[in-house]
Amino acid sequence: MENSSKNDTLKYANGDVFEGTFKDNKPHIGKVLLSNGEVGYNVEWIKGDVEIRTRYDSYYDDAKLKPMEKCYYKDGEVIKKQEYHESGQIASNCALEGGEPHGRERKYFEDGIIKIDIDWKEGKKHGKELEYSESGHIKTEIEWIEGKKIKQLKYHYESEKIKMELNWKDSKKHGKHLNYYENGNIKTDLDWIEGK
């Protein structure tokens, strides 16, 4: 098997162009020019199935080269995608199936604390979505089924005590809507019927 590198270009279906070295007849290290003519990002392929994208302005400074995105491929399809903050810390991590989010997605604050945790099924939110404060406490909880809000939406105080509970049915407010004081006493008690 030939393992040599050569310079060449490759035009993608979306009009973007890879310009750089190829290894075993696959893109290896180079840059991607966007279809509008702008330089988009640097790219490096590892073992032909992991694509690491870095910011173009860091292309010539290897000491500061930080990824902006990593894509993991299987049989030519992206199965996992990671995005990074400017600092190089991970910003998000998402499993994909058929090009759509499928499974767990996590988004992170700059310091690495989880910001959002979402479950996906075939490109639609499905299961629990949790949003956290920068101190790591749960701020919001939402239950989803196939992209529709269901059950309860909960907002929390920084102490993680429930601030508000709102019930949903088919993505419409339906049922009890309760607001609480931080001591747990009910502040307001409302009833909704199909969004009214």
pLDDT bin (cut points 50, 70, 90) of residue 56 is low
Residues 58-107 have pLDDT tens digits of 444 444 455 688 888 887 788 898 988 878 889 999 999 988 899 999 99
Q: What is the dihedral of CA 129, 134, 135, 136, to 10 degrees?
A: 20
Q: What is the mean pLDDT of residues 22-33?
A: 82
Q: What is the mean pLDDT of residues 45-49?
A: 74
Dihedral sign for Cα 163, 169, 173, 178, please.
Answer: negative
pLDDT bin (cut points 50, 70, 90) of residue 52 is confident
Say which residue, 141 or 51, is predicted with more confidence.
141
